[in-house]
Amino acid sequence: MKGRGNSRWTSERSLEELAQLALTAGANVVGRCVQRLGRPTSAYYVGRGKVQELASLRHRLGYSTIIFDEELSPSQQRNLEDALEVKVLDRTALILDIFAQHARTREGALQVELAQHEYLLPRLAGQWTHLERLEGAIGTRGPGETQLETDRRLIRRKIQHLKRQLEEVRRQRALYRRRRARQRVSVISLVGYTNAGKSTLMRALSGADVLVEDKLFATLDPVTRRVALPHGGAFLLTDTVGFIQNLPTQLVAAFRATLEELSEASLLLHVVDITHPDAAEQAQTVEDTLADLGLADKPYITVLNKADLICGPDGLPIEGLESLGDVRASLRYWRPDAVLVSAVKGWGLTDLLGHIEAALGLEEESEAASWGYRVRPAS
């Protein structure tokens, strides 16, 4: 369910992504709905007429959950659940659920649990509405409020405990980064929209045994591996959590320790799924998120991935490295300085490593310079 349009993303594209997120979470999508409003309503986010329409669709489609593509206020969520008599989720709750499924390390689990508790805290009142309906009955005065305050106190304590644990993780990461700095080993971080192929590229460059799945947020926990360069030397390559439009603020805050790896990196590899119809919008979302994290001036190389899934100028599927030059030329209008690769097939990886050597200053006369290599300049 989408309430308003987005200046960059069409409602249809955004709902398609929401459907993919729902499928990743294990849901079965039976329908979608759009309403265009000048601004959300305070009671339901959507209009009352749309709420009635959704209620009538429940009998025909048999759905048990509605997911909104926007973040709902606690009162809007409660009102919708009362009116529709089904579970109501928003985009933030859905993403948090997916992250909870995919967090495999202690650090990842701590970060997701913190984000979930901070999301739940303002919504606790809705858990006790059944007691509010009994207000005034003998023997029921007060327990709802008392239990609600007890739960709030417990969650606040849990949040503080999780923050202390994550602060310890943050200190350990800082010590690890200082050791790396003393060893003068360059660190490069992979960034990109979720499902752009970062983990596949990590595996192709380093041989790391990392999970690769064609799903949104298939991998969540950070992985670091050593990668050798063609002309000697090496660097550490780190894979971090993928970005997505409207990334929940709770997640950005909870994953601060992980995202700090980006600030310490010498270079970012921005991986883009060139086959996706919203590739440009996804790339801009990543750049906007980096700017929000204070990393707008960080040098990066754009890597256009999944070249094996696109066709050359002759309209035929790409069959080998000789076709990549022609396809790269046809894509210069979008990212003139980009490197075209196929992480699955291993195409273009030598080119990419040459660009990395040039960016790190390890090869002054790198062949990469002849390909129009350019690092984004500081603003």
Its pTM surpasses 0.75: yes
- Using one digit for the tens of pLDDT, what is the confidence trace for 147-191? 777 888 888 999 999 989 988 887 887 787 777 667 677 889 999
* Domain 185-371, CATH homologous superfamily name and number: P-loop containing nucleotide triphosphate hydrolases (3.40.50.300)
CA distance linking residue 355 with residue 35, whole number of Å: 46
In this structure, the chain runs to a length of 379
pLDDT confidence bin for 377, thresholds 50/70/90 = very low
Residue 253 tokens read as 């805050």
DSSP single-letter state for residue 344: T
The CATH number of 11-98, from 3.40.640.10, 3.30.70.380, 3.50.50.60, 3.40.50.11060, is 3.40.50.11060
Parallel, antiparallel or unpaired: strands 223-228 and 339-340: unpaired
* HSE, side-chain direction, 13 A CA sphere, residue 220: 22
The torsion defined by the Cα of 170, 173, 178 and 180, in degrees rounded to 10, comes to -160
- Using one digit for the tens of pLDDT, what is the confidence trace for 197-225? 998 999 899 886 655 555 566 556 677 88
Assign residue 121 a region (left: φ > 0; alpha: ψ between -120 and 50; beta: otherwise). alpha
Vertex 368 angle, CA 366 and 370, to 5°: 100
- Using one digit for the tens of pLDDT, what is the confidence trace for 274-294? 888 888 888 888 998 888 888
CA distance linking residue 233 with residue 4, whole number of Å: 51
Same fold? 11-98, 185-371: yes
Each domain of the chain, given as residue ranges in start order, spans: 11-98, 104-184, 185-371
Helix (H) or strand (E) holding 34: none
